């Protein structure tokens, strides 16, 4: 795979599982780019056109902050549904 890949993981009893992998990242890339200050879409496009990461003179960065992508569910569309996550 060359380019952007959205991977969803689950961890259970110290084992990492891949739930799904999609060759797209339409919501994730803008968030990661904004949090890191790195133009991920531009880098991915250059890679898809044949350029190698080592040719891009990218520098390792240290961050003193984190970014969190929150899931937003349309619970207002279903007023009879309890949005609380629970084991029942």
User: If pLDDT is split at 50, 70 and 90, which confidence band does 85 have?
Assistant: low
At 3, give phi and psi (nearest 5°): 120, -155
pLDDT of residue 68: 84
* DSSP letter string, 52-63: -GGGGT------
pLDDT of residue 79: 79
Residues 4 and 44: beta-carbon distance below 8 Å = yes
**Residue 16 DSSP code:** E
Q: What is the pLDDT of residues 12-33, one digit of tens each?
A: 899 999 999 888 777 888 888 9
Helix (H) or strand (E) holding 9: strand 6-12
Q: What is the pLDDT of residues 41-79, one digit of tens each?
A: 899 899 989 999 999 999 999 999 988 887 777 777 877
């Amino acid at each position: 795979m060359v380019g952007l890949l959205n991977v969803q993981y689950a961890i259970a009893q110290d084992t990492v599982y891949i739930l799904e992998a999609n060759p797209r990242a339409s919501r994730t890339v803008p968030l990661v780019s904004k949090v890191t200050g790195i133009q991920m879409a531009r880098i991915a496009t250059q890679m898809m056109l044949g350029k190698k990461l080592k040719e891009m003179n990218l520098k390792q960065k240290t961050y003193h902050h984190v970014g969190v992508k929150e899931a937003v569910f349309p619970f207002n569309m279903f007023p009879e549904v309890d949005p609380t996550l629970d084991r029942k």
